[in-house]
Amino acid sequence: MNNLIEKQVPKRHLPKHLIIVLAASIILLCLCVVASLAFGARFVSWNELMTGLFHPEIESFSSSVVQERIPRTIFSLLCGAALGVSGALMQSVTRNPIADPSILGVNTGAALFVVCGIAFFQISSAAEYIWFAIVGAMLTAIFVYGIGSMGSSGATPLKLVLAGAATSAALSSLVSAIMLSRTYVMDQFRFWQVGSVGSANWNLIFTFLPFLVAGILLAIMTASALNALALGDEVATGQGVRTGMIRLIAAFAGVILCGAATALAGPIGFVGLLAMHLMRLILGADLRFTIPMSAISGAVILTIADIAGRIIGSPGELEAGVVTAFIGAPLLIFLAIRMKVRSL
């Protein structure tokens, strides 16, 4: 595997400000963790937070609140990291700067298979959700890429987005058709489809971890080869990169990450789009650095969205998927306009 992936690719220098960005990202990540544990329907003070973290044996309402928020915080970090890396991989594989699991319809494909699993196979556990979602995400990604690749121009960014939008609309109709005649499916699905990390528990985290680790490791292993692919297939092939295999491995890693996160948290959109563009703006286009940093920025973005949803919706909460859509949709419009202007 290593010989297949680690080929002679263009040498890129270490970004001068990488250490500063990494340090700032870790500090921001720690602040997000503290804020996620402190804010919610009930605000937890610093002393109560420290007591709940380091002295859980002391029984109090604030300690119980902190203990309940720990898995939610960890889960939002992990899901954000998965979606950030998945977005980076999809943008790299398709050479589409506005590629994202939600834009390409991959989230909707995962949702359709989850609904089918609930309706026809009575699935209910997290592990079952994940496998159904991964299969749905994988088949949808293949279908969208196949449709977007038709014609002499190949898989252009515009064609992929149009294929993803059309596929997403069609699959959403199928989801609605399945749920309309099955009330129990609608009850089980309606909260999941908004996208939220509020139902997190330790069982969900341990179920998700193997998929997260496998996907991120594959992403890091393919990063150098994906750098070569960005120069064009002919250049990459001349440098010894097996372009088809690299695309397949990277796409598989992206689907694993997206499918697993979608299965457990619901179809949360735009995190991958935001995370990758932020890191590309700061660090440049070298995927050896932007992929790992997209994991950190994705974790920060989703956690901030979850915190914002709890503050805005207090004493209830606004789901993280709604917050990320509110932020991501204007960014998508801006990127689409800028790409259109460049093409004129």
For the chain, give the secondary structure using H, E and C. CHHHHCCCCCCCCCCCCHHHHHHHHHHHHHHHHHHHHHCCCCCCCHHHHHHHHHCCCCCCHHHHHHHHHHHHHHHHHHHHHHHHHHHHHHHHHHCCCCCCCCCCCHHHHHHHHHHHHHHHHCCCCHHHHHHHHHHHHHHHHHHHHHHHCCCCCCCCHHHHHHHHHHHHHHHHHHHHHHHHCCHHHHHHHCCHHHCCCCCCCHHHHHHHHHHHHHHHHHHHHHHHHHHHHCCCHHHHHHCCCCHHHHHHHHHHHHHHHHHHHHHHHCCCCCHHHHHHHHHHHHHCCCHHHHHHHHHHHHHHHHHHHHHHHHHHCCCCCCCHHHHHHHHHHHHHHHHHHHHHHHHC
Q: Does residue 126 surpass a pLDDT of 50?
A: yes
Q: What confidence score (pLDDT) does residue 123 get?
A: 84
Listed by start position, the domains of the chain span 2-343
Is the pLDDT at 239 greater than 50? The verdict is yes
Mean pLDDT (the chain) is 83
Lowest mean pLDDT among 141-150, 156-165, 243-252: 156-165
Q: Report the 10 Å Cβ neighbour count for 244.
A: 10
**pLDDT above 90: residue 156:** no
Between 341 and 166, the more confident residue is 166
pLDDT over threshold 60, residue 205: yes
Mean pLDDT of 84-92: 91
pLDDT score for 157: 65
The more confident residue out of 233 and 340 is 233
In 3D, which of 325, 334, 319 has the Cα closest to residue 72? 319
Higher pLDDT, 288 or 15: 288
| Res 190 pLDDT > 80 | no
**Half-sphere exposure of 137 toward its Cβ, with a 13 Å CA cutoff?**
30
Q: CA–CA separation, 48 vs 51, rounded Å?
A: 5
Q: Report the share of the chain in percent with pLDDT over 70.
A: 88
Alpha-carbon distance of 162 to 31, in angstroms, equals 39
* Reported confidence tier of residue 15, pLDDT bands at 50, 70, 90: low
Confidence of residue 344 (pLDDT cuts 50, 70, 90): very low
Fold designation for 2-343? ABC transporter involved in vitamin B12 uptake, BtuC (1.10.3470)
